[in-house]
Structure 1
């Protein structure tokens, strides 16, 4: 059973929405989850219609079955102060460093340090125990950076461990990588049934596998509902005269060529042709995703936009699909 769920996806695919729905699904039945945001966009707060998230874990929702969802927006600067206090006991000296601007300096000259702090904070939440040595959170869901840089984001601690051969920095980086490469971590890639997001998803899966990081599942978001008769659309293009006669029998004009019925049929068939092409494209993209050898889940398009009721609906969809698709190490 995975306890750290990393959700990534190309911009515009709705990865933050999927991460939020997954946190709700994982909290089902009285469990407690933590939803972590690392990009500073406050997208989680907007989804749950709450105040901007501070650098502290705050309860933001109750799931079905009285589960609890907490959220945290990780700030790199505050995380660095925590890090310095944890390993070097700097205390007030750390606060002095902040006033001097040393924190900004450190994260600027070492861009990878920011990712180390973000991943480290999320992994600390996974490992944290209460006084009875039980996990504080049953699951931690990370709304992670986009697919194009997810392998680098998750793998940065391995580079740090290689640079710092000994000491607390080395030990911390190694501990984070052990968690990220273990069955406790699942990486879910969110995509749309469009060519660019699917290609980026395929590339992301390959990069994760090349670095030994888990690629656990694909979530196809905003899937439009299937229309009745889609399979007959292509064959309908060959039956213009037959359809025109049917229109005429319905009293929509004569069946003669060029008549009103045929003029009505032509634009309808053109729309049908375009829709049929879209159906064929989506069929090919689904096959490409299935070829990656990962479970593929689909979430329907929210026609009214994303609001709280829709978010809970997506959580039910996710939970239902996980429970009926077998165990893959990431089941709520």
Structure 2
């Protein structure tokens, strides 16, 4: 497994949930994982049922086997102060810049700078080592921007390195891209078995590959259980209404005579079966599209009772069982 796991996906596919579950899965058996949020939505704090994350690495969960999950919500302004201190030793001058609004001005006027700071902070966590020479974290998982923005977000340092030919900015941008374009990084895309998310996933993979960014795996989220198979659906389409009513009656759901309780259930039941058949066909069609992308894929179930902390651990266990740890 690559040490930097980037999770993207179309809005509404549950990429933040998948990123959190992946961080838990990777932290199993005593590992340390850092879960990084870059969009300022505090979605990670909500999932782990904790208070809003500050701009500092904080332990938020313990994984099976004693592993630990830390989380960090990256603030672009504070990341810029870190950057200025690291390369220019500004100290109190940097704090004065923040008070004057220069930090906000810089990140607003140069939107690309914001992405440089966000990716740079995550890559710093990947490279960081303790005094004994061991990596501070075994894995860093980034809850990244949506699929439509992910390639430009990750590739921004390439653009900066091209604009700044020399100096610390150039060197920093090159160091970040060495991580992002190496086997140390894997970009996973989260999708649903629906036409628009699958198409956006295919487009995102093509863009990532064109930018020579390492594509990881496809994670199909919120997969509903298969109630009927193709043969059973065909039987439903051909079975006479009277046979359905008789079966309902035999099951104790009223008489089969017209106007009886069982008779009244036939049409709603057949409509429901028809709707299920349409969804079944669509999902199998989208699975075929995903298979053509020639990437490893994983499926996570739809949790019918909603997403809570217990559900997050359930999804992490699913990912471990499917080899994502």
Structure 2 residue aligned with 1:292: 293
Separation (CA, whole Å) in 2 of partners of 1:194 and 1:304: 21
Q: Report if aligned partners of 1:129, 1:135 keep a CA contact under 8 Å in 2.
A: yes
- 5 Å-filtered alignment, 1:147-158, equals 147-158=147-158
Normalising by structure 1, what TM-score? 0.93
Match of 1:26 in 2: 26
Following TM superposition, by how much is the alpha carbon of 1:240 offset from its aligned partner in structure 2, in angstroms? 1.6
Q: Distance in 2 between matches of 1:305 and 1:245?
A: 35
Aligned equivalent of 1:141: 141
Give unpaired runs (5+ residues) of structure 2: none
Change in CA separation of 1:173 and 1:249 when aligned onto 2, cut-off 3 Å: closer
**Structure-1 separation of matches of 2:19 and 2:235:** 41
Q: Across the two proteins, how many residue pairs are aligned to each other? A: 322
Distance 1:27 1:271 in 2: 42
4+ runs deviating over 3 angstroms = 228-231, 244-249, 251-255, 258-264
Structure 1 unaligned spans of 5+:
323-330
Label 1:110 to 1:270 Cα distance change in 2 as closer, same or farther (>3 A). Answer: same
Q: Name the CA distance, whole Å, in 1 between partners of 2:268 and 2:182.
A: 56
Q: How far off its partner does 1:259 sit?
A: 6.6
CA distance in 2, matches of 1:229, 1:8: 31
Could you say if the C-alpha distance between residues 253 and 230 of structure 1 is closer, same or farther in structure 2, counting changes exceeding 3 Å?
Answer: farther
- Cα RMSD between the aligned structures? 1.6
1:15-46 per-position Cα deviation (integer Å, ceiling 9, x unaligned): 11111100000000001000000011111111
The question of whether the paired residues in 2 share the 8 Å contact of 1:5 and 1:185 is answered with yes
Equivalent residue number for residue 122 of structure 2: 122
1:89 and 1:245 mapped to 2: Cα distance?
A: 81
Question: Cα deviation per residue 1:197-229 (whole Å; 9 max; x = unaligned)?
Answer: 111111111110110011110111111111145
1:234–1:273 Cα contact (<8 Å) kept: no
The equivalent of 2:7 in structure 1 is 7
Please say if residues 42 and 53 of structure 2, whose CA atoms lie closer than 8 Å, have aligned partners that are also in contact: yes
Cα gap change, 1:81 to 1:254, in 2 (>3 Å): closer
1: CA distance, partners of 2:245 / 2:71: 61
